[in-house]
Amino acid sequence: MSRNIVLIGMPGSGKTVIGKETAKKLNMIFVDMDEMIQAKESKSIAEIFKDGEEYFRSLETDCAKELGNKNSLIISTGGGIVKRKENIDYLKRNSIVVFINRHPDNIVKDVDIQKRPLLSNGIDNIYKLYNERIDLYKKYCDIEVINDKEINDSVEDIIQKLKRRSFVNAQDDK
């Protein structure tokens, strides 16, 4: 598959885990945008956020622009990638965008919110962010997958939906 698959969704929705498993199944390269940003800055996301959310969002835009010119990647984005339309425009150049939709109740159950800068203000902030972003996630995605079962179920759901839309050939799914 030459097009990228971009995963969007809330922090804690499963983008990274689902992305890694989908990359294995489709024999593609996995890229985590947060890890890419951390490597470029030699800082953790929490440390980068100390310089301000806008600074982080600019770094995110730079990565989106760079990755939008590449092929055959599975890209896990940060939860706020949808806050700037230009990010989606860059990524959609050569990508199918998949929204990993996981209800905030499920995120709250098993995500360590202290390690997530925008969630560290408490559980209520998860619901607030979800309500602020849900329409953007739905607007920008080509495919929506509900992550409310096992990881492999979400991976198979993505692959089947990609096949139905002729984004993935049967031989790509090994």
pLDDT of residue 65 exceeding 70: yes
Within its chain, how far is the Cα of 63 from the centroid? 13
Question: What are the CA-CA distances from residue 72 to residues 20, 23, 40 (Å)?
Answer: 13, 9, 22
Q: Residue 112: pLDDT band by 50, 70, 90 thresholds?
A: low
**Percent with pLDDT over 70 in the chain:** 88
- State residue 115's pLDDT score: 60
Q: Residue 108: pLDDT band by 50, 70, 90 thresholds?
A: confident
Residue identified by tokens 């990881």 is: 151
Count of beta carbons in the 10 Å neighbourhood of residue 13? 27
pLDDT of residue 84 exceeding 60: yes
Domains annotated on the chain, with CATH: 4-161 (3.40.50.300)
Name which of 84, 93, 80, 86 is nearest 4 in CA terms.
Answer: 93
The two tokens of residue 77 are 């984005």
- State residue 125's pLDDT score: 81
CB burial string 104-128: b at 16+ within 10 A, e below: beebeeebebeebbbbeeeeeebee
Structural element, H or E, at residue 95:
strand 95-101
pLDDT of residue 128 exceeding 60: yes
Structural element, H or E, at residue 120:
none
113-119 contacts at long range (C-beta below 8 A, 24 or more positions apart): 113/12, 115/46, 116/11, 116/12, 117/45, 117/46, 117/49, 118/11, 118/49, 118/53, 118/79, 118/80, 119/11, 119/12
Tell me what the pLDDT averaged over the chain comes to: 89
- Cα–Cα dist 146/112, whole Å: 21
